[in-house]
Amino acid sequence: MTVTELSKISKILIIRLSSLGDILLTTPIIRSLKKRTPNISIDVLIKEEYSDVLKLNTHIDNLYYFSKDERLNNKLLESLRLNNYDFVIDLQNNLRSRKITKTLNKNTSRFYKHSFDKFLLVNFKINRLKSSEAIPNRYAKTIEGFVLDDRGLDIFTDKFPGKNLVGKNSFIGFCPGARHFTKRWPKEYFIELGDSLVKAGFTILLFGGSIDRKLCSEISKSINGSIDISNDNDLLQTAADMKLCKAIICNDSGLMHVASAVNTNVVAIFGSTVKEFGFTPYKCKNLILENNSLTCRPCSHIGRNDCPKKHFNCMNSIKPEFVLKNILSFKANE
């Protein structure tokens, strides 16, 4: 499919089943397609647990959910087949999404994942991704000649900031969680950084989902005056509350992309992963802190449950005083 052919089609299906950040990174292509060709119907297929990411997105005509129940999925696939799409964009590009596109039997373009290049970088430190673009730009390449607009990520929320936050200011948000251990900056470092920021006049807000509740609670209890607003995966409330923050300090995680989508300042700490994979804050003011002197980075393109070298220097070497210095410099240059 080329840009010139877009005017000849009426219905597109975009497939990106998971995860939180990956789905948020689809929003520039969805929005840009709708702006360029307003009459095209854009449907999107995601996993049902990520419904909040796109359910209020005004650029989508129909949102479909892939279920954990295969019987429901069979009915869903039949419905999608009957929609008779002109074009399918497979941004997941795995066995499951290929099975879906095979069932639909329509003209399909797939996201190029650079799997071999990632393998070389992780296992042999051969870096053929130095000039690799951000993931939204790579998503756009599924349509030959297509160019995204100049805006960032989208997240639409109908929630308002919590009543205990309204009227206050100088919030800095901490997102200490991540699905994998090697993508998490140490808890003790977040606490030390939080204490320093409190002395500098800021109030710390703790953000996280259900798997982060314990971690957020432990950090909040150790930082004077901090407020734990982690929740049971109420993403739209999280997005509304993030808008109050002067900056968000986070790991390479889904909430990093949520912070990018609400266009707050983002300071991201990268451990076992690297920028070359393309999953960086997109078109918002951001700063990525990482230790580029380590020959063992990256040890994974998604993160690991432990450090294969047992020293975890990718995170342990990024000290709280270094992060504080960068945050204050970052804020001073706004």
Query: Could you state, in order of their start, the residue ranges of all structural domains in the chain?
Result: 3-140, 171-332
In this prediction, residue 166 carries a pLDDT of: 74
Measuring CA to CA, how many Å separate 141 from each of 59, 90, 95, 103, 138?
19, 12, 21, 24, 5
In this prediction, residue 251 carries a pLDDT of: 98
Half-sphere exposure (Cβ direction) of 206: Cα atoms closer than 13 Å: 29
| Residues with pLDDT less than 50, the chain | none
pTM score, two decimals? 0.96
In this prediction, residue 294 carries a pLDDT of: 98
In this prediction, residue 164 carries a pLDDT of: 82
In this prediction, residue 332 carries a pLDDT of: 56
In this prediction, residue 57 carries a pLDDT of: 98
Q: Does 171-332 match 3-140 at the fold level?
A: yes
Residue 158 class from Cβ within 10 Å (0-12 exposed, 13-18 middle, 19+ buried)?
Answer: exposed
pLDDT in tens, 191-238: 999 999 999 999 999 999 999 999 999 999 999 999 999 999 999 999
CATH topology of domain 171-332: Rossmann fold (3.40.50)
Class of domain 3-140: alpha beta
